[in-house]
Copies of this chain bind each other. A is one copy, B any other.
Amino acid sequence: MMTEPQLAREHCRPLRGREHSLDQSQASVLLASLPGWQIVDPGQLLQKEFTFASYTATLLFVNTVAGLAERENHHPDLEVGYGRVKVSYCTHDVGGLSRNDFICAAKIEALAGI
Protein backbone atom coordinates (compact mmCIF):
# COMPACT_ATOMS: atom_id res chain seq x y z
CA MET A 1 0.00 0.00 0.00
CA MET A 2 1.25 3.45 -0.94
CA THR A 3 1.53 5.80 2.04
CA GLU A 4 1.28 9.57 1.92
CA PRO A 5 4.93 10.12 3.04
CA GLN A 6 6.15 7.84 0.21
CA LEU A 7 4.00 9.61 -2.36
CA ALA A 8 5.08 13.02 -1.03
CA ARG A 9 8.72 12.24 -1.87
CA GLU A 10 8.00 11.70 -5.56
CA HIS A 11 8.10 14.53 -8.10
CA CYS A 12 5.74 15.39 -10.93
CA ARG A 13 6.67 14.27 -14.43
CA PRO A 14 5.49 15.69 -17.74
CA LEU A 15 2.53 13.52 -18.80
CA ARG A 16 0.58 13.63 -22.03
CA GLY A 17 -2.20 11.51 -23.44
CA ARG A 18 -4.67 9.09 -22.01
CA GLU A 19 -2.11 6.37 -21.30
CA HIS A 20 -1.00 8.46 -18.34
CA SER A 21 -4.46 8.91 -16.85
CA LEU A 22 -5.42 6.72 -13.90
CA ASP A 23 -8.28 4.27 -13.93
CA GLN A 24 -10.69 4.16 -11.01
CA SER A 25 -8.92 1.41 -9.07
CA GLN A 26 -5.49 3.03 -9.41
CA ALA A 27 -6.98 6.35 -8.24
CA SER A 28 -8.70 4.65 -5.29
CA VAL A 29 -5.45 3.12 -4.09
CA LEU A 30 -3.69 6.50 -4.11
CA LEU A 31 -6.71 8.29 -2.61
CA ALA A 32 -6.68 5.94 0.40
CA SER A 33 -3.39 7.48 1.54
CA LEU A 34 -4.77 11.06 1.49
CA PRO A 35 -7.02 11.91 4.45
CA GLY A 36 -9.89 14.25 3.60
CA TRP A 37 -9.25 14.35 -0.14
CA GLN A 38 -12.00 13.28 -2.49
CA ILE A 39 -12.45 12.67 -6.18
CA VAL A 40 -15.30 14.76 -7.55
CA ASP A 41 -16.81 15.52 -10.96
CA PRO A 42 -16.40 11.79 -11.58
CA GLY A 43 -12.71 11.17 -12.04
CA GLN A 44 -11.86 14.71 -13.08
CA LEU A 45 -10.84 16.54 -9.89
CA LEU A 46 -8.91 15.67 -6.74
CA GLN A 47 -10.16 18.07 -4.10
CA LYS A 48 -9.90 19.05 -0.42
CA GLU A 49 -11.03 22.07 1.58
CA PHE A 50 -8.65 23.34 4.26
CA THR A 51 -9.73 25.70 7.03
CA PHE A 52 -7.68 28.20 9.02
CA ALA A 53 -8.11 30.32 12.13
CA SER A 54 -6.99 33.55 10.46
CA TYR A 55 -6.64 35.22 7.09
CA THR A 56 -2.87 35.39 7.59
CA ALA A 57 -2.74 31.60 7.99
CA THR A 58 -4.97 31.25 4.94
CA LEU A 59 -2.60 33.29 2.79
CA LEU A 60 0.48 31.52 4.12
CA PHE A 61 -1.09 28.26 2.94
CA VAL A 62 -1.95 29.76 -0.48
CA ASN A 63 1.63 30.89 -0.96
CA THR A 64 3.06 27.57 0.18
CA VAL A 65 0.85 25.67 -2.26
CA ALA A 66 1.74 28.17 -5.01
CA GLY A 67 5.47 27.67 -4.38
CA LEU A 68 5.01 23.93 -4.60
CA ALA A 69 3.00 24.37 -7.81
CA GLU A 70 5.83 26.33 -9.41
CA ARG A 71 8.50 23.85 -8.36
CA GLU A 72 6.53 20.87 -9.65
CA ASN A 73 5.15 22.80 -12.64
CA HIS A 74 1.70 21.51 -11.71
CA HIS A 75 -0.80 24.16 -10.70
CA PRO A 76 -4.06 23.56 -8.83
CA ASP A 77 -7.19 25.67 -8.87
CA LEU A 78 -7.66 27.44 -5.53
CA GLU A 79 -10.87 28.87 -4.12
CA VAL A 80 -9.79 31.26 -1.39
CA GLY A 81 -12.13 32.77 1.20
CA TYR A 82 -11.73 34.04 4.75
CA GLY A 83 -10.23 31.09 6.65
CA ARG A 84 -10.71 28.52 3.91
CA VAL A 85 -9.01 27.27 0.75
CA LYS A 86 -10.42 24.62 -1.54
CA VAL A 87 -7.64 22.95 -3.55
CA SER A 88 -8.53 21.18 -6.82
CA TYR A 89 -6.03 19.26 -8.91
CA CYS A 90 -6.49 17.78 -12.34
CA THR A 91 -4.15 17.02 -15.22
CA HIS A 92 -5.46 18.78 -18.32
CA ASP A 93 -2.93 17.00 -20.54
CA VAL A 94 -4.49 13.62 -19.80
CA GLY A 95 -8.09 14.85 -19.54
CA GLY A 96 -8.53 13.66 -15.97
CA LEU A 97 -6.41 12.59 -13.00
CA SER A 98 -2.79 11.51 -13.15
CA ARG A 99 -0.28 10.41 -10.54
CA ASN A 100 1.00 14.02 -10.50
CA ASP A 101 -2.26 15.17 -8.87
CA PHE A 102 -1.86 12.69 -6.03
CA ILE A 103 1.84 13.50 -5.61
CA CYS A 104 1.01 17.19 -5.12
CA ALA A 105 -1.84 16.39 -2.73
CA ALA A 106 0.53 14.21 -0.67
CA LYS A 107 3.09 17.03 -0.58
CA ILE A 108 0.41 19.42 0.71
CA GLU A 109 -0.55 16.93 3.43
CA ALA A 110 3.10 16.55 4.41
CA LEU A 111 3.57 20.34 4.54
CA ALA A 112 0.32 20.86 6.48
CA GLY A 113 1.55 18.40 9.10
CA ILE A 114 4.76 20.28 9.87
Contacts and interface: CB of A to CB of B under 8 A. Distances in A.
Contact of A66 (B55, B69, B75, B79): B55
Interface of A: 55-56, 59, 62-63, 66, 69-70, 75, 77-82
A78 B80 contact: yes
Contacts of A59: 62-63, 66
A55 B82 contact: no
A79 to B, nearest CB: 6
Contacts of A78: 78-81
A78 to B, nearest CB: 4
A31 to B, nearest CB: 23
Most chain B beta-carbon neighbours within 10 Å: one of A55, A56, A59, A80: A80
